[in-house]
Amino acid sequence: MPPDTQAKKINRASFEPAYMQLVRMVSEQIATGALRPGDQLPTEGQFCTQYAVSPMTVRRAINILVEKGLVSTTHGRGTFVKPLDIGRATFRLQELKNQWTSGEIDVALLEASIQSADERVARKLAIPIGERAIFIRRLVLQGETPAMYHREYLIYDPRRPVVEDQLQITSLEGLLQGQSGEGLRRGELSIEAVTLKEEEAELLKVPTGTAAFRLEHIFHDFENHPVSWGWFICRADRFKLTTCIGADADA
């Protein structure tokens, strides 16, 4: 434990809550190297007296530091600064929305039809082979340039207010604006790298064989049945995920 560097006070008049000020102050000490990986933080009690706050406030601040991955706590031992861990990096899909909502986005519906499910579609949607399913192809345009190509298979259920609603489900409007499907409970997503097939390349106006991201999705309803399965093919030059780890990741 380093000799106490300098204990700034909590500003009670600030709009910033006390626990956040604590988080920020400790984060800065870690960022500047005043606290190094492995160092022990002051104990809960020490924080309380140093900053004249209650234990709950200290604990809240420490919990946030733990979630940020900056420190780790061990029950009877103490709280310690963690070294950089590359495994903690997380890439947020939200980033794409931000990248894209800055410009003009158009969604072109290329196809919307009823198809009979082949083996693959049947398996993904958990329906019998040959059952009818809705098939949709869309193209997302950023200005004049195509950015993503979307293929999606949807459960066809004549009892539901189908197509119109379903066209909204996982719609790119939803993806880009904010919220999708009201009737959906959970989704699974995955990302891989692929090379573009001829059809995809033509639509995206890049050479066949170009690299691209494939963002696959499958959504389930409240009965936990699959509702939709599909994937976005994203031009690599329009799709990049970035993130930061360590101190100063945000503040």
Partner DNA sequence: TAGTGGTCTAGACCACTTA
Partner DNA sequence: AAGTGGTCTAGACCACTAG
Binding site for DNA (CB under 7 A): 17-20, 41, 43-46, 52-57, 59-60, 62, 73-79
- Coil vs helix vs strand at 54: coil
Which of 74, 94, 102, 113 is the binder for a copy of itself (CB under 8 A)?
94
Q: 214 — alpha (psi -120 to 50), left (phi > 0) or beta?
A: beta
User: Cβ(127)–Cβ(133) under 8 Å?
Assistant: yes
Which of 167, 187, 202, 203 is the binder for a copy of itself (CB under 8 A)?
187
Which of 20, 24, 25, 37 is the binder for a copy of itself (CB under 8 A)?
37
Which of 110, 114, 129, 241 is the binder for a copy of itself (CB under 8 A)?
241
- Please identify which residue in the block is written with the tokens 């101190």: 247
Shortest spacing between CB 116 and a copy of itself, in angstroms: 28
- Coil vs helix vs strand at 175: helix
49-52: Cβ within 8 A, 24+ apart = 50/4, 50/7, 51/7, 51/9, 51/10, 51/18, 51/22, 52/9, 52/10
Between CA 162 and CA 227 the distance in angstroms is 11
Total of residues contacting a copy of itself (CB under 8 A): 64
| 153 is a site residue for a copy of itself (CB under 8 A) | no
Q: Which does 250 bind (CB under 5 to 8 A by kind): DNA, a copy of itself, none?
A: none
Positions in the binding site for a copy of itself (CB under 8 A):
30-33, 36-38, 56, 67, 82-94, 96-97, 170, 174-175, 178-182, 184-195, 209-213, 217, 219, 222, 236, 239-249
